[in-house]
Amino acid sequence: MTILDEILAKKQQEITELKRSYQRQSSQKKSLVSLYESFQQSDRMNIIAEFKRASPSKGPINVDADPGIHTKMYDQFGANAISVLTDQPFFQGSMEDLQRIRQVVDIPVLNKDFILDEIQIDRALDYGADVILLIAAAMNPARLEQLYRYATGLGLEVLLEIHTEEEAVIANDLNANIVGINNRDLKTFNVDLATTERLAEQIKDPATLLISESGMKTTADVERVQQAGVSGILVGETMMQSNDLKQTFNELRIPLNEVSLHDR
């Protein structure tokens, strides 16, 4: 059993409990902030800065960080969006973290979790997310499409995460407009930026916004994935461990080159 299998099994238990106890707050349409559109405005590498207390691969990262204080600094130093890891058992996050972050920033907020059911999407909307994560490796393509359509039908955007060539085909078939290429293999934890280089060229529609996820630490890392055509990066650990967030943002927010701007 891989760690991803373990996480998904635990998540199914959480969903069963959620279905028993969770009351959807409102069916009213909210006006959400578009990550896709705001990222088109920028001529620098777009940064999704992640609030990530701990992880299965690293253990504790910054467990006591205050979500409001920490992500307000992300916003102040140039984040284009915030990702919030809300899984409790493996990442020590919570929906309350997301709710708090929504109160202090106006930029798009991504609910990063292992979403397998509509009820989690309802909850993401209720707690103030603009974007949800769907992981292609976590379910079959038909179920992925159902959840994708459900979320976009509610006005949410979807970051569709892929890690293999087969999953790139699924993203193309779905016409996903925001695709995250995860450099971390969720089964082995191995991180390799070559994953972005390999998969970016498999995404057919030039209007698709490409995000490189995981393992981003230095300017050289960002330059490398930019050459592959991505215009956004998702950064967790480096942000949570930084002693000088201003400097960290300066190093990673490089100007976008022709390769990343070509479809605008």
Ligand X SMILES: O=C(O)c1ccccc1NCC(=O)[C@H](O)[C@H](O)COP(=O)(O)O
Chain residues binding ligand X by CB under 6 A are 3, 50, 52, 55-57, 182, 184, 186, 189, 213-216, 234-238
CB of 29 to ligand X, least distance (A): 29
Our CB check for ligand X shows the closer of 56 and 68 to be: 56
Our CB check for ligand X shows the closer of 125 and 159 to be: 159
Q: Which residue is nearest to ligand X (CB)?
A: 236
Q: Are strands 178-182 and 157-162 parallel, antiparallel or unpaired?
A: parallel
Per-residue three-class SS string for the chain = CCHHHHHHHHHHHHHHHHHHHCCCCCCCCCCCCCHHHHHHCCCECEEEEEECCEECCCEECCCCCCHHHHHHHHHHHCCCEEEEECCCCCCCCCHHHHHHHHHHCCCCEEEECCCCCHHHHHHHHHCCCCEEEEEHHHCCHHHHHHHHHHHHHCCCEEEEEECCHHHHHHHHHHCCCEEEEECECCCCCCECCHHHHHHHCCCCCCCCEEEEECCCCCHHHHHHHHHCCCCEEEECHHHHHCCCHHHHHHHHCCECCHHHHCCC
Our CB check for ligand X shows the closer of 36 and 189 to be: 189
CB of 235 to ligand X, least distance (A): 5
| Catalytic residue ranges | 50, 52, 112, 161, 182, 213-214
CB of 13 to ligand X, least distance (A): 17
CB of 243 to ligand X, least distance (A): 16
CB of 30 to ligand X, least distance (A): 26
Contact between 44 and 254 under an 8 Å Cβ cutoff? The reply is yes
Our CB check for ligand X shows the closer of 25 and 190 to be: 190
CB burial of 174-192 (b: ≥16 within 10 Å; e: otherwise) equals bebbbbbbbbbbbeeeebe
Our CB check for ligand X shows the closer of 22 and 185 to be: 185
